Structure 1
Amino acid sequence: MSETERDPDGRIKLEQRGALLLIGIDRPEKRNGFTPKMFAELAAAYTRLEEDPELRVGVLHAEGDHFTAGLDMPKCAPLRKEGRPYIPLTEVDPFDLREPMRSKPVVMALKGISFTVAVELMLAADIAIAAEDCRFSQLEVKRGIMAGCGATFRFVERAGWGNAMKLLLTGDEFNAAEALRLNFVQEVVPVGQELDRALEIAGRIAEQAPLAVQATRDNARTAVNYGWQAAYGRIASTQRRLFNTEDAKEGVQSFIEKRPARFVGR
């Protein structure tokens, strides 16, 4: 399908740059409003990131001036009324809430209007970069529903109860500076620089030993979900596995030879 024959339900655009997979939300003519088709394609993109051994980091971004105005409700509401999920159960969940879980990191670039699903994808990402013009809102209560992809507990986890309730129960907008204060994003950059900065960070992650990156992320996630004792209990066995990899040997050799390491993910 050509650019002049765009699917009215939008699409998820993919581009591989070395070890990075760029995942683009592409329905700018509708402010990137999410449709069931887009959810399915987003899940397929995350599954490709997870399963392709050449890929080490995902970069989630959007076409146009805005990340997304949220759900295209006329198209999405019928699925929820019937209790059907937006994400196919066999695909990796972009919201990182159920099996199959993601092991590889995702860096996200946000801009302009970034409502509902954008916020929940932001909270599910590992690192989020926001343009100064970002407008955020978890506005489900204004539509007679509630956030369903992690915001109800991740807001509390990141920002504390009062800050979370202030935003979740009013649906009020907040800006990039407030998102930074609440630990929802890690950096705020001038408009137009958000994707470049996300790519820069993703590139730095991709330079590191991929098994070590995944193990680090997994241990941190275990602590968040099950407490530090559970995470600590897994360290010894994970370290033993990592110390016996080719990449660990390369890490030592590169240190001895005073050169950048060349990691292969084994």
Structure 2
Amino acid sequence: MTKARVTVDRDGHVLLIGLDRVDKRNAADLQLLEELALAYGLLDRDPELRCGFVYAHGDHFTGGLDLADVAPRITDSGLDIVPEGGINPWQVSGTQLTKPVVIAVQGTCLTLGIELILASDIAVAAANTSFGQVEVSRGILPFGGATLRFPRAVGWGNAMRWILTGERFDAAEALRIGLVQEVVAAGQQYERGLALAHRVAEQAPLAVQAALANARLAVREGDAAAEATLQPELVRLARSRDAAIGMEAFARRTGAHFVGR
């Protein structure tokens, strides 16, 4: 049997999703893409899972797309990477993920690696990370969301500087423009990213998912659409068991242990 390209483990309410094609710098062939999509599907539908943590085994996050494997599979309708039960990790088609994702990167992080950061919610980078949105140097365009999200996340000029030149940039630049939220010493990105994922998972999951959904709605459909759901969502959440738990913890000045109901 072919070795799995993606490891999937549980750590409490966090799903650990690890890219594991180390001998190829975690370059994404179709098998890796499909296994990653299945991991996202598991994260979304399992009520015990509250946050995903995406990382990579080895010294590099990803060398990008394995074009030798993937290019022949591009049909007239594009590239299908989502098997039954999966969710597109880049969130550019199909069912949208309802739970947050923290991501940690190191070493080489090219093309779809940057786009996976942009599709995630909190990103940590090792100081030795080298980024590159290099598709134009290979005769294609970014098709995993960079053309949509990169300008929104870092500003038009900052995004075009790297998308249109295909040049590499370092972790300090990624932090400056806002692509990542923290830069840590090489080797510490996993621990820091996992700690953030657990911090998210400790919060009231219904509230986390509602906040995430409202923010995404504002991006996709505009402020008015998001504003229209604020009060109904507040009413729904205020009636939840988690809201009562949160109020009790506040009154007693103790930690809250949310149940997701």
User: What's the TM-score, normalizing by structure 1?
Assistant: 0.94
> Secondary structure of 2:207's partner?
helix
Q: Shift of the alpha carbon at 1:81? A: 4.3
Correspondence list, 1:175-254, <5 A: 175-254=170-249
1:211 and 1:242 in contact (8 A); partners too: yes
Quote the residue 1:68 is aligned against. Answer: 62
In 1, Cα distance between the equivalents of 2:120 and 2:89? 8
Per-residue deviation, 1:169: 1.0
Give 3-state SS (helix, strand or coil) of 2:87's partner.
Answer: coil
* Counterpart secondary structure, 1:171: coil
Q: Which runs of 5+ in 2 are unaligned?
A: none
Determine the structure 2 residue equivalent to 1:34. 28
Asked if 1:144 is matched to 2:132, the reply is no
**Distance (whole Å) between structure 2 residues aligned to residue 168 and residue 255 of structure 1:** 47
Task: After superposition, give the CA deviation of every residue in 1:86-144 in whole Å (9 maximum; x if it has no partner).
Answer: 23375212112233111110000000000011000010000000000000001111111
Q: Is the 8 A contact 1:26 1:62 kept in 2?
A: yes
Whether the 8 Å CA contact 2:106–2:129 is kept in 1: the answer is yes
What is the match of residue 55 of structure 1? 49
Whether 2:88 is the aligned partner of 1:88: answer no
Task: Report the equivalent of 1:169.
Answer: 164
Cα distance in 1 for partners of 2:95, 2:215 equals 18
Verify the 8 A CA contact 1:90 1:100 in the aligned structure 2: no
Amino acid at match of 1:18: G
| Partner Cα separation in structure 2 for residue 58 and residue 194 of structure 1 | 15
| 1:64-143 aligned within 5 A | 64-82=58-76, 83-88=78-83, 91-143=86-138
* Length-normalised TM-score, structure 2: 0.96
- Tell me how far 1:158 sits from its aligned partner: 1.4
Residue equivalent to 2:15: 21
Instruction: Return the alpha-carbon distance in structure 1 between the equivalents of residues 75 and 225 of structure 2.
Output: 38
Separation in structure 1 between the aligned mates of residue 248 and residue 75 of structure 2, nearest angstrom = 58
The alpha-carbon distance between structure 1 residues 206 and 90, as it changes in their structure 2 partners (threshold 3 A), is closer
Partners of 1:249 and 1:160 lie apart in 2 by 40
Q: Which sections of structure 1, spanning at least 5 residues, go unmatched?
A: none
The Cα RMSD (Å) is 1.3
Q: Which runs of 4+ in 1 moved over 3 A?
A: none
Question: Is contact 2:107–2:128 with CA below 8 Å preserved after alignment?
Answer: yes
